[in-house]
Amino acid sequence: MSTRTADRLVRDLESICGERNVFWREEDTLVFEYDAGFDRRPPLAVAVPKNTDEIARCVRAARDAGVAVVPRGAGTGLSGGTIACGDAVVISTARLRTIHEIDAVSRVAVVDPGVPNLEVSAAARPHGLFFAPDPASQRVSTIGGNIGTNAGGPHALRYGSMVDHVLAVEMVLPDGEVAVFGGVAPDLPGYDCVPLIVGSEGTLGIVTKAWLRLLPLPEDVRTFLAEFPDVRSGARAASAIIARGIVPAAMEMLDRTTIRAVNAAFDVHLSEDAGSMLLVEVEGLREETGSATSAIVALCEDEGARGVRVAETQAERELLWKARKLGYPALARIKPNSYIHDAVVPRSKLPDVLDSVNAIADRYGYTVANMFHIGDGNLHPLLLFDLREDTIEGVMEASAEILKVAIESGGALSGEHGIGLEKNHFMFWVYGPEDLEAMQRARSAFDPDGAMNPGKIFPGGDTCAAIPTERIKRGLAEGMWI
Partner 1 sequence: MDLAIYQLEGMVPSRSQRPSDTATLARGIGEANETNSSIVVWGGGTRIGVGNAPARYDIAIDLRDLSGIVEHSPADLVCTVRGGTTVAALAAELARAGQRWPVDVADPERATIGGTIASAAPSPSRLRHQHVRDWVIGCTAVLGDGTVARAGGRVVKNVTGYDLARLYSGTFGTLAVLAEVSLKLSAIDEAVRAFRVDESAYEDLRHLPLDSLVLTTGHTRGLYVRVAGLAAAVERVSRELARYHATEIASVAWDQTVHPSTDAADLTRASVPPWRERGSIAQTVARRLGHAAQRATYHAGAEGALRPEGSARTGPSSRLALER
Of residues 350-409, those binding partner 1 (CB under 8 A): 373, 376-378
Helix axes 468-479, 392-408, angle to 10 degrees: 40
Q: What share of the chain is helix, strand, coil (3-state, %, to 5)?
A: 40, 20, 40
When binding is defined by CB under 8 A, the residue of 33, 175, 288, 355 that contacts partner 1 is: 288
Q: Does 451 bind partner 1 (CB under 8 A)?
A: no
When binding is defined by CB under 8 A, the residue of 188, 264, 310, 359 that contacts partner 1 is: 188
When binding is defined by CB under 8 A, the residue of 3, 25, 126, 189 that contacts partner 1 is: 189
When binding is defined by CB under 8 A, the residue of 177, 287, 386, 408 that contacts partner 1 is: 287
Beta pairing class for 220-228 and 178-182: unpaired
217-276 binders of partner 1 (CB under 8 A): 219, 239, 242-247
- CA R_g for the chain: 22
Beta pairing class for 307-310 and 215-216: unpaired
**H-helix segments, 187-326:** 194-197, 231-243, 256-265, 286-302, 314-325
**H-helix segments, 308-349:** 314-325, 327-331
**Smallest distance from the beta carbon of 323 to partner 1, in angstroms?**
22
Taking CA atoms, 403 is separated from 345, 393, 477, in Å, by 10, 15, 10
Q: Which stretch binds partner 1 (CB under 8 A): 11-19, 41-49, 363-371, 411-419?
A: 411-419
Residues near 224 by Cβ (< 8 Å), separated by ≥ 6? 279, 280, 293, 297, 308, 309, 310, 311
When binding is defined by CB under 8 A, the residue of 15, 19, 183, 264 that contacts partner 1 is: 183
Size of the site for partner 1 (CB under 8 A): 78
Indicate the residue among 48 and 451 with the shorter CB distance to partner 1. 451
Q: Does 298 bind partner 1 (CB under 8 A)?
A: no
91-150 binders of partner 1 (CB under 8 A): 105-108, 149-150
Q: Does 161 bind partner 1 (CB under 8 A)?
A: yes
**Smallest distance from the beta carbon of 326 to partner 1, in angstroms?**
22
CA 31 distance to own-chain centroid:
20
**Smallest distance from the beta carbon of 455 to partner 1, in angstroms?**
15
**Smallest distance from the beta carbon of 393 to partner 1, in angstroms?**
24
When binding is defined by CB under 8 A, the residue of 325, 417, 425, 474 that contacts partner 1 is: 417
Q: Which stretch binds partner 1 (CB under 8 A): 284-292, 309-317, 381-389, 473-481?
A: 284-292
d(CA 376, CA 389): 35
Q: Which stretch binds partner 1 (CB under 8 A): 186-194, 271-279, 313-321, 460-468?
A: 186-194
When binding is defined by CB under 8 A, the residue of 179, 285, 298, 310 that contacts partner 1 is: 285
Q: Does 410 bind partner 1 (CB under 8 A)?
A: yes
Q: Which amino acid, 197?
A: I
For residue 474, give the H/E element and its range: helix 468-479
Indicate the residue among 286 and 333 with the shorter CB distance to partner 1. 286
d(CA 146, CA 160): 13
